[in-house]
Amino acid sequence: MLLFFFLTSLNAFSQQSHSDEGLFKIAIMYPNAEGNTFNIEYYKTKHMPYVAAMLGSNLIKYTIEEGLSNVIPGQPLPYMAIGTFYVKNVEDYQKAIGPNITEIRADFANYTNAIPVILISEVVY
């Protein structure tokens, strides 16, 4: 019976949709360090919607994650928050952000004093 449950669960997992496959992911990670601050409410209600609106139909979705803990007990949290945009095309993302980068950076002061680390990647699975 346990084997049946395991095989059924494995089959269900393997049939899951990989709807993000082929998209590009822009992860904006805000490092945790002594003295760094982050206002998640402002980020969620003002900053991310503001930037998302610039991306138009190229944007598939965006997510916001608030850091909770490090995987290693007793170690500091590596990132306070991570904002992620899933887009169809990196070049279109850059064309939308480029002309607005000064305004985007000016808004940082409203929610953080951290310098973000940005990773652009392709979702492969």
pLDDT in tens, 60-108: 999 999 999 999 999 999 999 999 999 999 999 999 999 999 999 999 9
Torsion of CA 90, 96, 102, 106, to 10 degrees: -90
Number of other residues whose CB lies within 10 A of the CB of residue 88? 14
Tokens of 47: 């900053």
Domains for the chain: give ranges and CATH numbers. 21-122 (3.30.70.100)
Backbone angles phi, psi at 103, to 5 degrees: -65, -40
pLDDT tens-digit readout, 14-55 = 455 678 899 999 999 999 999 999 999 999 999 999 999 999
State the pTM of this model: 0.84
